[in-house]
Copies of this chain bind each other. A is one copy, B any other.
Amino acid sequence: MAATIRDVAQASGVHVSTVSRTFSAPHLVNPETRNRVLAVAEDLGYRPNRAARALTTGRTHNLGLIVADISNPFFPPLIKAAQAHARTRDYHVFVADTDEDPQVEEELIKALAKQVDGVLLCSPRLSNRAIERLHADVPFVVVNREVKGMPTVLMDIGQGARLAIEHLAGLGHLRVALVSGPSGSWTSKRMREAAAAVDGVDLVFLGPNTPTEQGGLAAAAEVAASGATGVLAYNDLVAMGLIEGLHERGVQVPGDVSVVGVDDIVAGRLNRPKLTTVAMPTAAAGRMAVDLLLQSVAEGGTATLATLATGLVVRESTGPAPEPAAS
């Protein structure tokens, strides 16, 4: 159906290798010939078949991006930044969603392996072992988690968590709950560690939870029962669900309980009360991840670790700790 390199060769009276070079090494072909070939190619609507090219060159000029849950508003900015950035490097990014299922994640990686030059693993749910094993098939860059020996882009959630806890402490909250995400989450662990390093606050660890509003909603009872007046949630979605759940129980935010989220998703800005949250440099992370990946594709495994700074955005979901009930 579509024109192939041989059609173009025949129509312009040259050998296929000349057509090939016209596109992949133009300086090797006489300008006159080149223009003729280009004209014919244009005329026939010929475009080199990237897949076929990849077969011999080993370069597909595609990148894969694997994400646990596209619905999580944390990812789209990262995805968009990665795609836009990759495009400037003449690469395309294919996104796949694993539905939080490690099995699916592995299957997708294998399927992608031969069709892309490298894969961006965003918050992977796979075990380190599995990741290292699969790494033999295709270069990786891991985002939002540390896997030894692998190029990694981290957002300094520890710093963010510390800022958040200090913010709460500064408002007089003496007892703060950490509502964590999925069990074994690398992020949750870092948050706990960082929070524990802040002096003068009493920490309660709650969870694990699904990292969605549902999870937050479900955690509301626990939080209410914990006696904490400040909460650092796993992410904004959990925070929003939690606020909703607390509200249903008649607990006021920020009057009775202050809540801090993580991610700074757009919806948090529209929430009522507007969410105080740890802002993640997602777009920068997406670009950085692409850079690292292309670098590691080109040069072979350089296991750089990039850590991006986070910041605290104070809005309306946090306020002074309530007076201790004088009962």
A interface residue numbers (CB < 8 A to B): 1-2, 45, 47, 49-52, 54-55, 60, 62, 70-71, 73, 76-77, 79-80, 83-84, 87, 92-97, 99, 104, 108, 110-115, 136-137, 213, 240-241, 244, 266-267, 269-272
Rounded to whole Å, the gap between the CB of A111 and the closest CB of chain B is 5
Q: Which of B80, B97, B115, B271 contacts A71 (CB 8 A)?
A: B80
The answer to whether A99 and B71 have CB atoms under 8 Å apart is no
Residue of B nearest to A51 (CB): B51
Chain B residues, CB < 8 A from A54: 51
User: Which residue from B1, B92, B114 sits with its C-beta under 8 Å from A49?
Assistant: B114
- A96→B83 contact, CB < 8 A: yes
Which residues of chain B are near A71, meaning CB under 8 Å? 73, 76-77, 80, 266
Whether B60 and A51, one on each chain, are in contact in the complex, defined by CB atoms closer than 8 angstroms, is yes
Q: Complex: how many Å from CA A108 to CA B112?
A: 18
With both chains docked as a complex, state the minimum distance between the C-beta of A68 and any C-beta of chain B, in angstroms.
11
Enumerate the 8 nearest inter-chain pairs by beta-carbon distance, A residue then B residue, closest first.
A94-B94, A71-B76, A95-B95, A272-B272, A267-B267, A70-B76, A51-B51, A49-B114
Chain B residue contacts of A104, Cβ below 8 A: 87
| Min C-beta distance of A89 to chain B, whole Å | 13
Minimum Cβ distance to chain B for residue A195 (Å): 25
Q: Which residue of B lies closest to A64 (CB)?
A: B94
Complex contact A50–B111 (CB within 8 A) = yes
Closest to A114 in B: B49
- Scoring A60, A70, A96, A110 by chain B CB atoms within 10 A of each residue's CB, the highest score goes to A70
Beyond known contacts A52-B55, A270-B271: 6 more, CB 8 A cutoff: A70-B76, A76-B97, A87-B104, A95-B95, A244-B270, A267-B270
